């Protein structure tokens, strides 16, 4: 179709990665075509390479000390702020979900609502999870004994392939609200909500490097992350239904005994309230003993 | 070069941020309404200036407020999913933070507390408290205390931390799905009424929070109302006992935060400079109008002289005066009645043979003031070692062994809080386990956090506020 | 420094604990501990003091008069030092009421140049010596370094302690080195740099402060400026507590010099508040409190101009040295 010479041409966004608080293109120079649910071209998304994944792990590791050292109260406020900013960009996300997932406006709207509410739910957990899963232990001796959860470190997340926003939020929030930092591979075919979510994170007081978002193929990036010796845990949600590949990731993860959240047989219903294990999967329990005596 | 004196020039916080109306009504069903009773004046204790006329709720007003709360409970609040209740509480937390300076200035004017404390302690804790309990509203099934609300809560709070006590009462009640009728203290109603405006800004459903102002009679009408399911009171042990009697034989649930006579125990291996800071903070924070104040200093005899020397030197640097001056450490006594009580007990201390020492400071001519004071040669038998003074008066006693320290610390009908100062961890934990007090601070004092339960043993009250434990009082 | 409380080479007699590592250890580890959280909270609370109008004017002039205007670069030249000297004597050439700074602080080879630059203005010349900043040299080299600087006319010597010896518990060695440097100083006053950023704990800062005071230093100084963190407010507060307690124990008053990291007038005023409320007004004097700084002076001058003229000024209106 020939455009009208007097019509305004829109200015289109470049879809980039989100690493260490910045928005680089892939170091490989590769992109891939992100299509909408009807197969029409929407954008050229950055195709993250294994070196982008490596850089993202470095960024996540360097952010870990500061983020895990913040008070739980502060982390809760930051995650709540993410919810505020996401809600503020509601219309944009409704459109992105509609195009990516092929749902109608009402369904997309409900998905965005659920995503905001999921963030609010997790924000509240920041300073409560320790009160629910930690506590003092009545050891039989003159000792004070206290168990408390601590974040495990850098968590690789292969985000769900179908649920491009609610699924993404549901796997990222539990990782960061507990003080871990994340390297996330978005849905391969539906990367656009993830890219925009990166922009939300960048404007929500989340320090650079706490969440790093890579658009690309989980099955090609996943093995590198699963084998990476400076990654402490991996969530294989994005490999749902692919038991063979998921098992290979688990084998690679065993090299440094990563904590693994296994791939489900099929992508779950993300609208259900998550169990506490969504957070405890990425928590260590530290128990401190101290004698009592004058 | 001649010695330079660095005299701090006045640094007053601007009052222009607050707009105090000439008169205030009651907040019932989401609206400000006229009361049916008379009115009373609230006064700035630093200047004796009348700030506003405030309606005094009578029994009829209280009944209307309880009815509004019941209606909101039945029709809206108890039926709303926790995740939606949470959002209103988060809104309130955010608006409190947005209007924090306004709240801090108003609190300082109405209460007499230093702006530094209202600004840096009270109001941030208030916002944090709402934020914390907002997060519980949709997680009650993980609380361990059930997830069913009680109904309408009658809440009566004191004048020492007007807004903070409001937060401690209202936030957990609402998070659990209860609605409330709150009575602020008659000398400090203004920040509660500003909080009512905040509820309006947050579009909290009408009737979820109702505020009835007044004195003791209003409080009695509220806690005695047959349609309240829960009574929560913070104040004196005497009134707490009366309330316990008045709810006897009913199904009303009860929590009480009452008086204290906390021991602050300094061992000879304490980090002395920090211990002195902690003792000063323990008793002179908020003019000593603190139920958990460290009003008894128990100091090991081997370091008593050195600690007292350092303590007096530190007390001499306390800046007493205009609460709105950003450099003021100790503000005004909240009311002439309270000032009279502090004077009466201090005179008793002298009459009973204790040695009185007062920090050298200039007190303003108008308003109600009491200079930071300590008594030495105090024994367990003295009234100033047994009765809650609720003012900037510290009683110093000594001990020789940890067992003696524990025995003296526990030798009181109260049991709210205690402090321990030592560099030896095992001693701290052992002494802490032997103290009959609901909160024990080690190498710190007067710390408050929304995640941390607070409340007393014995006659200091029953139930806990704050933290996961604070949910118990509002769930079944 | 005019107050000569104790003669060079002598130590405070009532505290004769420097017989061995063990006796020093017993003494230093017997000092009351420092609770980190409480100390930092106290410093932060003092940092909220609001110093306005007349108090601010007093504080700014006092702070200017306490500056040890410092250049300690490998690239230092005589020209740079002469410029520094001129700035020290007339920090604000457009305002005769602006006080001069306390001293210029240079490497030993620049002492003669600095001395000529400040002339008879009353501005002192301080030299860093003893293999500054690491202190990693043999004792005779450190002493020669000190004597050279004094012979070149240095009024004050800023020495570094051997942090390695201190951290490994060789307290007597640290003590004796300070005593030896003090002796080599002759008439010059000795500032003892603890390099608190390498001592890691406030307990160590307190112990090193006492060690330096026992050994006869006239001043205790936080840092070289080459290690981070340098002069934080809690560290300065701990050292002010030490000099306060030392005077009570011995009658001898010792000065304190935070150095490194104090870049704004606001930070300088926070320090003066801590001096005022922790050590007391006796220390509010360039003889007893100094700021080791370079960029701080211009911010003090800009704040001073703001108070005088009522409008904010910019870096183009103060001199670059």
Contacts of B135 in chain A (CB under 8 A): 76, 123-128
Asked if residue B416 has pLDDT above 50, the reply is yes
Q: What is the pLDDT of residues C97-154, one digit of tens each?
A: 999 999 999 999 999 999 999 999 999 999 999 999 999 999 999 999 999 999 999 9
Q: What is the mean pLDDT of chain B?
A: 97
The answer to whether position A101 is within a domain reads: yes
CA distance A138 to A133: 15
pLDDT at B179 (0 to 100): 98
Backbone angles phi, psi at B50, to 5 degrees: -75, 125
Confidence at C14, pLDDT banded by 50, 70, 90: low
How many domains does one find in chain B? 2
pLDDT at B5 (0 to 100): 85
- What does each C-alpha distance from C269 to A77, B4, C276 come to in angstroms? 33, 14, 10
Residue B23: Cβ within 10 Å count: 11
Q: What is the pLDDT of residues A80-121, one digit of tens each?
A: 999 999 999 999 999 999 999 999 999 999 999 999 999 999
Angle between helices C171-185 and C21-30 (to 10 degrees): 100
The answer to whether position B9 is within a domain reads: no
- What does each C-alpha distance from A273 to A126, A166, B147, B349 come to in angstroms? 16, 12, 16, 61
Chain B interface, Cβ < 8 Å to C: 1, 3-11, 116, 120, 269-274, 277-278, 317, 326-327, 423, 443-444
The answer to whether position C202 is within a domain reads: yes
The answer to whether position A277 is within a domain reads: yes
pLDDT at A57 (0 to 100): 98
Residue B271 shares a structural domain with residue B235: no
Q: Which domain holds residue B289?
A: 263-442
pLDDT at C320 (0 to 100): 83
Asked if residue C9 has pLDDT above 50, the reply is no
pLDDT at C7 (0 to 100): 43
Please, where are the H alpha helices in chain A? 50-69, 72-88, 90-101, 105-125, 129-133, 166-177, 192-202, 218-227, 243-253, 277-280
Q: Classify the phi-psi angles of C51: left when phi > 0, otherwise alpha if psi is within -120 to 50, otherwise beta.
A: beta
| Residue B427 touches partner A, C-beta closer than 8 Å | yes
Average pLDDT of the segment spanning B46-62: 98
| Residue A148 touches partner B, C-beta closer than 8 Å | no
Q: What is the pLDDT of residues B268-295, one digit of tens each?
A: 999 999 999 999 999 999 999 999 999 9
C241, B8: Cβ pair inside 8 Å? no
Distance of CA B253 to the CA centre of its chain: 21
Residue C7: Cβ within 10 Å count: 7
Those residues whose C-beta lies under 8 Å from the C-beta of residue C121, and which sit 6 or more positions away, are C88, C89, C100
B135, A117: Cβ pair inside 8 Å? no
Interface test with C, best of B266, B274, B307, B441 (most C CBs within 10 A): B274
Residue C53: Cβ within 10 Å count: 12
Residue predicted with more confidence, C3 or C46: C46
| Residue B430 touches partner A, C-beta closer than 8 Å | yes
Q: What is the mean pLDDT of chain A?
A: 97
Residue of chain C nearest B445, judged by CA positions: C38
A73, B134: Cβ pair inside 8 Å? no
Asked if residue C216 has pLDDT above 60, the reply is yes
pLDDT at A77 (0 to 100): 98
Write the CATH number for C294: 3.20.20.70
Average pLDDT of the segment spanning B146-161: 98
Q: What is the pLDDT of residues B179-203, one digit of tens each?
A: 999 999 999 999 999 999 999 999 9
Residue A227: Cβ within 10 Å count: 17
The answer to whether position B224 is within a domain reads: yes
Residue B282 shares a structural domain with residue B169: no
The answer to whether the CB of B313 falls within 8 A of the CB of B280 is no
pLDDT at B68 (0 to 100): 98
The answer to whether the CB of B448 falls within 8 A of the CB of B454 is yes
Residue B344 shares a structural domain with residue B421: yes
The answer to whether position B395 is within a domain reads: yes
CA distance C158 to B306: 34
The answer to whether position A18 is within a domain reads: no
Maximal C-alpha separation, chain B: 76
The answer to whether the CB of A181 falls within 8 A of the CB of A31 is no
Residue of chain A nearest B175, judged by CA positions: A124
Closest to C196 (Cα-Cα) out of C155, C238, C154: C238
pLDDT at C10 (0 to 100): 45
Q: Which domain holds residue C45?
A: 16-317
Q: What is the pLDDT of residues B17-36, one digit of tens each?
A: 999 999 999 999 999 999 99
**Shortest Cα distance, chain A CAs vs residue B419, angstroms:** 15
CA angle, B60 then B61 then B65, to 5°: 115
Interface test with B, best of C1, C31, C44, C50 (most B CBs within 10 A): C50
Asked if residue B103 has pLDDT above 90, the reply is yes
CA distance A282 to B3: 60
How many domains does one find in chain C? 1
Residue B269 shares a structural domain with residue B234: no
CA distance C75 to C274: 35
From the number of C-beta atoms within 10 Å of its C-beta (0-12, 13-18, 19+), residue A173 rates as: buried
Chain A: list its partners (3+ Cβ pairs within 8 Å): B
Task: Flag whether C touches B (3+ CB pairs, 8 A cutoff).
Answer: yes
pLDDT at B3 (0 to 100): 66
A294, B427: Cβ pair inside 8 Å? yes
Q: Which domain holds residue A203?
A: 41-291
Residue B224 shares a structural domain with residue B287: no
Residue B77 shares a structural domain with residue B128: yes
B429, A144: Cβ pair inside 8 Å? yes
The answer to whether position B2 is within a domain reads: no
CA distance B418 to B266: 11
Active site residue C266: no
The answer to whether position A25 is within a domain reads: no
How many domains does one find in chain A? 1
Asked if residue A218 has pLDDT above 90, the reply is yes
3-state helix, strand, coil in chain C (%, to 5): 50, 10, 40
Interface test with B, best of C2, C31, C36, C38 (most B CBs within 10 A): C38
Active site residue B387: no
B131, A73: Cβ pair inside 8 Å? yes
Residue with tokens 């937390």: B93
pLDDT at C1 (0 to 100): 39
Write the CATH number for A234: 3.40.605.10
**Shortest Cα distance, chain B CAs vs residue A275, angstroms:** 11
Average pLDDT of the segment spanning C247-274: 97
Residue B172: Cβ within 10 Å count: 30
Q: What is the pLDDT of residues B299-338, one digit of tens each?
A: 999 999 999 999 999 999 999 999 999 999 999 999 999 9
CA distance C303 to C312: 8
The answer to whether position C5 is within a domain reads: no
The answer to whether position B273 is within a domain reads: yes
Nearest-CB residue to C50 (from B273, B277, B326): B326
A291, B427: Cβ pair inside 8 Å? no
**Strand B31-33 relative to strand B26-28: parallel, antiparallel, unpaired?**
antiparallel
CA distance C21 to C28: 10
CA distance C267 to C258: 11
Intra-chain end-to-end CA distance of chain C, in Å: 26
User: What is the per-residue burial (b if ≥16 Cβ within 10 Å, else e) of B413-432?
Assistant: ebbbbbbbbbbeebbbbbbb
Residue predicted with more confidence, C12 or B377: B377
Name the helix (H) or strand (E) containing B305: helix B301-315
Q: Classify the phi-psi angles of B277: left when phi > 0, otherwise alpha if psi is within -120 to 50, otherwise beta.
A: alpha
Contacts of B83 in chain A (CB under 8 A): 117, 120-121
Residue B115 shares a structural domain with residue B222: yes
B135, A125: Cβ pair inside 8 Å? yes
Kindly write down the DSSP assignment for every residue of C189-245, as one continuous string.
Answer: EEEEE--HHHH-SHHHHHHHHHHHHHTT-SEEE---SSSSS-S-HHHHHHHHHHHHH
Nearest-CB residue to C285 (from B1, B9, B11): B1
Q: Classify the phi-psi angles of B182: left when phi > 0, otherwise alpha if psi is within -120 to 50, otherwise beta.
A: beta
Secondary structure of residue C13 in the 3-state scheme: helix
In the numeric block, which tokens belong to residue B450? 């929304």
The answer to whether the CB of B230 falls within 8 A of the CB of B154 is yes
Residue with tokens 């949470």: B86
Secondary structure of residue B28 in the 3-state scheme: strand
Residue B267 shares a structural domain with residue B252: no
Those residues whose C-beta lies under 8 Å from the C-beta of residue B381, and which sit 6 or more positions away, are B352
Residue B242 shares a structural domain with residue B358: no
Beta bridge partners, B419, equal B264, B441
Nearest-CB residue to B128 (from A73, A120, A124): A73
Task: Flag whether B touches A (3+ CB pairs, 8 A cutoff).
Answer: yes
pLDDT at C6 (0 to 100): 43
Residue C214: Cβ within 10 Å count: 24
Write the CATH number for B100: 3.40.605.10
Asked if residue B383 has pLDDT above 80, the reply is yes
CA distance A191 to A214: 9
| Residue A117 touches partner B, C-beta closer than 8 Å | yes
The answer to whether position A33 is within a domain reads: no
Average pLDDT of the segment spanning B216-223: 98
Closest to B225 (Cα-Cα) out of B206, B250, B204: B250
CA distance C39 to C49: 16
């Amino acid at each position: 179709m020939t455009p009208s010479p007097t019509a305004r041409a829109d200015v289109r966004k470049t879809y980039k990665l989100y690493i260490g608080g910045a928005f680089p293109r892939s170091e490989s120079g590769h992109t891939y075509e992100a299509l909408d649910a009807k197969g029409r071209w929407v954008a050229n998304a950055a195709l993250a390479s294994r070196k982008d994944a490596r850089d993202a792990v470095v960024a996540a590791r360097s952010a870990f000390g500061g983020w895990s050292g913040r008070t739980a109260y502060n982390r809760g406020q930051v995650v709540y702020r993410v919810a505020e900013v996401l809600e503020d960009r509601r219309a944009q996300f409704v459109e992105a979900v509609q195009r990516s997932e092929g749902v109608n406006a009402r369904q997309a709207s409900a998905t965005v609502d659920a995503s905001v509410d999921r963030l609010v739910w997790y924000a509240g957990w920041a300073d409560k999870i320790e009160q629910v899963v930690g506590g003092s232990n009545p050891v039989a001796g003159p000792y004070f004994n206290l168990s408390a959860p601590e974040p495990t470190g850098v968590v690789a997340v292969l985000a769900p392939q179908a649920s491009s926003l609610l699924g993404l939020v549901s796997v990222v929030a539990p990782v960061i609200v507990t003080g871990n930092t994340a390297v996330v591979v978005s849905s391969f075919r539906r990367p656009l909500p993830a890219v925009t979510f990166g922009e939300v994170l960048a404007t929500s007081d989340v320090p650079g490097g706490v969440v790093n978002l890579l658009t690309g193929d989980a099955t090609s990036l996943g093995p590198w992350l699963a084998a990476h010796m400076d990654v402490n845990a991996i969530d294989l949600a994005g490999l749902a239904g692919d038991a063979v590949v998921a098992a290979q990731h688990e084998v690679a993860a065993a090299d440094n005994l990563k904590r693994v959240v296994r791939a489900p047989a099929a992508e779950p219903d993300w609208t259900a309230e998550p169990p506490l294990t969504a957070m405890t999967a990425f928590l260590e329990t530290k128990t401190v003993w101290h004698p009592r005596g004058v | 070069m001649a010695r330079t004196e660095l005299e701090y020039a006045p640094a007053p916080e601007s009052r222009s941020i607050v707009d105090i109306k000439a008169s205030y009504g009651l907040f019932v069903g989401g609206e400000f309404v006229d009361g049916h009773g008379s009115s009373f004046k609230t006064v700035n204790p630093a200047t004796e200036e009348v700030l506003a006329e405030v309606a005094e709720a009578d029994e009829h007003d209280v009944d209307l407020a309880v009815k509004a709360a019941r209606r909101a409970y039945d029709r809206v609040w108890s039926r709303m999913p926790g995740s939606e209740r949470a959002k209103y509480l988060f809104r309130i937390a955010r608006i409190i933070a947005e209007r924090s300076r306004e709240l801090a200035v108003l609190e300082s004017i109405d209460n007499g507390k230093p702006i530094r404390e209202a600004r840096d302690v009270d109001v941030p804790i208030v916002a944090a408290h709402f934020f914390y309990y907002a997060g519980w509203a949709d997680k009650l099934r993980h609380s361990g205390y059930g997830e069913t609300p009680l109904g309408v809560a009658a809440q009566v709070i004191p004048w020492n931390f007007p807004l903070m006590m409001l937060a401690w009462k209202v936030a957990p009640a609402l998070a659990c799905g209860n609605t409330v009728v709150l009575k602020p203290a008659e000398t400090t109603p203004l920040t509660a009424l500003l909080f009512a405006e905040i509820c309006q800004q947050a579009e909290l459903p009408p009737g979820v929070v109702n505020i009835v102002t007044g004195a003791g009679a209003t409080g009695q009408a509220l806690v005695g109302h047959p349609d309240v399911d829960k009574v929560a009171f913070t104040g004196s042990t005497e009134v707490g006992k009366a309330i316990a009697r008045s709810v006897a034989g009913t199904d009303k649930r009860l929590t009480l935060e009452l008086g204290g006579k906390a021991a602050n125990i300094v061992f000879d291996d304490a980090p002395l400079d920090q211990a002195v800071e902690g003792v000063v903070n323990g008793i002179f924070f908020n003019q000593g109008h603190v139920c958990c104040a460290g009003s008894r200093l128990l100091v090991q005899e081997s370091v008593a002289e050195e600690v007292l020397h350092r303590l007096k030197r530190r007390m001499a640097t306390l800046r007493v005066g205009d609460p709105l001056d950003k450099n003021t450490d100790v503000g005004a006594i909240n009311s002439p009645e309270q000032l009279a009580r502090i004077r009466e007990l201090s005179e008793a201390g002298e009459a009973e043979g204790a040695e009185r020492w007062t920090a050298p400071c200039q007190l303003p001519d108008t308003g109600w003031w009491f200079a930071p004071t300590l008594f030495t040669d105090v024994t367990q038998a003295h009234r100033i070692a047994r009765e809650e003074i609720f003012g900037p008066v510290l009683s110093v006693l000594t001990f020789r062994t940890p067992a003696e320290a524990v025995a003296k610390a526990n030798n009181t009908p109260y049991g709210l809080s205690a402090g321990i100062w030592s560099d030896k961890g095992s001693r701290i934990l052992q002494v802490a386990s032997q103290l009959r007090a609901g909160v024990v601070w080690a190498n710190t004092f007067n710390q408050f956090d929304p995640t941390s339960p607070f409340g007393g043993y014995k006659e200091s009250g029953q139930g806990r506020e704050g933290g996961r434990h604070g949910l118990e009082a509002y769930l079944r | 420094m005019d107050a000569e409380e104790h003669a060079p080479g002598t130590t405070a007699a009532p505290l004769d604990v420097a017989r061995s590592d063990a006796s020093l250890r017993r003494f230093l580890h017997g000092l009351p501990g420092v609770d980190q959280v409480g100390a930092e909270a106290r410093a932060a609370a003092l940092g909220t003091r609001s110093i306005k109008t007349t108090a601010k004017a007093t504080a700014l002039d006092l702070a200017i008069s306490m500056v040890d205007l410092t250049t300690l670069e490998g690239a230092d030249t005589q020209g740079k030092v002469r410029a520094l000297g001129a700035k020290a004597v007339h920090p604000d050439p457009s305002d005769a009421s602006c006080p001069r700074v306390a001293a210029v602080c240079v490497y030993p080879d620049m002492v003669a140049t600095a001395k000529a630059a400040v002339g008879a203005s009353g501005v002192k010349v301080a030299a860093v010596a003893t293999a500054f900043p690491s202190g990693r040299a043999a004792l005779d080299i450190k002493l020669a370094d000190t004597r050279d600087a004094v012979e070149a006319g240095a009024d004050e010597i800023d020495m570094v302690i051997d942090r390695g010896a201190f951290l490994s518990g060789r307290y007597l060695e640290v003590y004796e080195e300070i005593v030896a440097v003090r002796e080599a100083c002759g008439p010059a006053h000795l500032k003892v740099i603890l390099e608190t950023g390498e001592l890691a704990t406030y307990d160590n800062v307190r112990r090193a402060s006492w060690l330096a005071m026992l050994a006869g230093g006239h001043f205790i100084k936080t840092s070289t400026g080459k290690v981070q963190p340098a002069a934080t407010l809690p560290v300065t507060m701990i050292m002010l507590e030490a000099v306060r307690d030392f005077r009570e124990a011995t009658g001898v008053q010792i000065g304190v010099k935070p150095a490194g990291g104090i870049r704004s007038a606001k930070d300088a005023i926070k320090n003066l508040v801590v001096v005022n409320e922790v050590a007391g007004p006796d220390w509010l004097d360039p003889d007893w409190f100094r700021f080791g700084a370079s960029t701080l002076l211009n911010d003090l001058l800009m704040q001073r101009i703001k108070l005088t003229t009522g409008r904010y000024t910019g870096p183009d209106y103060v001199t670059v040295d």
